[in-house]
Amino acid sequence: MAERMHRIQVGTSGWNYPRGRGKWTGIVYPPPKTRGGADELTWYAERFRTVEVNVSFYRDLDQGLTTRWATRTPPGFEFAVKLHQQFTHPRLHAPSTPGVRVVPAGDAGALAAAIDALAPLRQTGRLGPLLAQFPASFTATPEALDYLSWLTGELRGLPVAVELRHRSWSDARREALAILDAAGAAWVYIDEPKFQSSIWQAPDLMVEDLSARPWAYVRLHGRNAAQWWDHEAPEDRYNYLYANEELEPFVDIASAAEALGRKLYLYANNHYAGNAVANAAQIRARLGDPIQAPFPRTLVDHFPQLEGVIQVAGAGPSPPLLLEETDPD
């Protein structure tokens, strides 16, 4: 079981959602006094072996913060760290001279500094993949292919997962895969609402890719099409809970990875009100790898389908959670 647990990594995107309509407060985490002094990250890491870091997309990290993350998690825990948006939302321009390709390189110094901030995680074996999440507006132009080649080339030697969302990348699949394979990077399989401009991906194609590559990365964003582009708050787009049958393809992908001896990272990003925790726990259970540490009764009260899937601490409902400010995730 230990070897399997090391290969198949299932977790959530982020661990700290203390505010808003989609907060985890009062649902996912028990009151601080019943956690034995453990903060949210430490408590989370007792139940999951990996987490996807979102805060790095919006702000620069530093070694002080990543050192604290390392000391608050057990050996073997992995942080998948999203690259800052300055590296995934570049302004690309077509060359002024027809027929002349110009590589639109980014800021190599800033990229090196971002990687240096992760040194405490690397040194303690807690650094998982780097996630390059490109926006839907990032289309498969020659300039974009050049930029993708530059970015993955700069990060060669580190595990990099690349998320591409526009349908043009489906047509440029061969060219994109050549770039990713050259750097040992993974093409992220994403589940999200599908629109006319969305990339085309299928579970059987993902399994086919697994057979030819050493690792893979999956992200579940939810399928809330109605609020994906039209919402009051950004968190609203992630207000979606996968039904059991909707999780089946991802359980199959993880099972295929296990059978092939491949490493797989799977993160539930439908974080609204703890949806991601519920679905990640269900996937773990379906893989025969249930979470052993107990959750508060409030999680099952909010997600009755978790009854019998997770262990529950105590018999009665927990009181509302009042949390002090913690380090951002």
Q: How does pLDDT run across 8-63, given as a tens digit for each residue?
A: 999 999 999 998 999 998 899 987 767 666 799 999 999 999 999 999 999 999 99
C-alpha Rg value of the chain to the nearest Å: 20
**151 assigned to some structural domain:** yes
Interior/surface letters 248-281, b for 16+ CB within 10 angstroms, e for the rest? ebbbebbbbbbebebbbbbbbbbbbbbbbbbbbb
Q: What is the pLDDT of residue 106?
A: 66
**318 assigned to some structural domain:** no
How many residues are given for the chain?
329
**227 assigned to some structural domain:** yes
CA distance 329 to 100: 43
Question: Encoding tokens for residue 35?
Answer: 């956690």
**322 assigned to some structural domain:** no
Q: Of 200, 181, 204, 179, whose CA–CA distance to 191 is shortest?
A: 200
Q: Any idea what DSSP says for residue 199?
A: P
Q: What is the pLDDT of residue 6?
A: 74
Strand partners, 312: 295
**213 assigned to some structural domain:** yes
Q: Print the domain residue range for 43.
A: 2-313
**296 assigned to some structural domain:** yes
106: Cβ contacts below 8 Å, ≥ 6 apart:
86, 87, 90, 147, 150, 151, 154
**324 assigned to some structural domain:** no
CATH number for 88: 3.20.20.410
Q: What is the pLDDT of residue 226?
A: 92
**164 assigned to some structural domain:** yes
Count of other CB atoms within 10 angstroms of residue 42: 15
Q: What is the pLDDT of residue 37?
A: 64
Specify the number of domains making up the chain.
Answer: 1
Contact status, residue 219 vs residue 269, Cβ threshold 8 Å: yes
In angstroms, the first-to-last Cα distance of the chain is 29
Q: What is the pLDDT of residue 313?
A: 86
Q: Of 327, 264, 280, 319, whose CA–CA distance to 297 is shortest?
A: 319
List of the chain residues with pLDDT < 70: 1-5, 33, 35-37, 92-106, 314-329
In Å, what is the CA distance from 263 to each residue of 164, 187, 266?
20, 14, 10
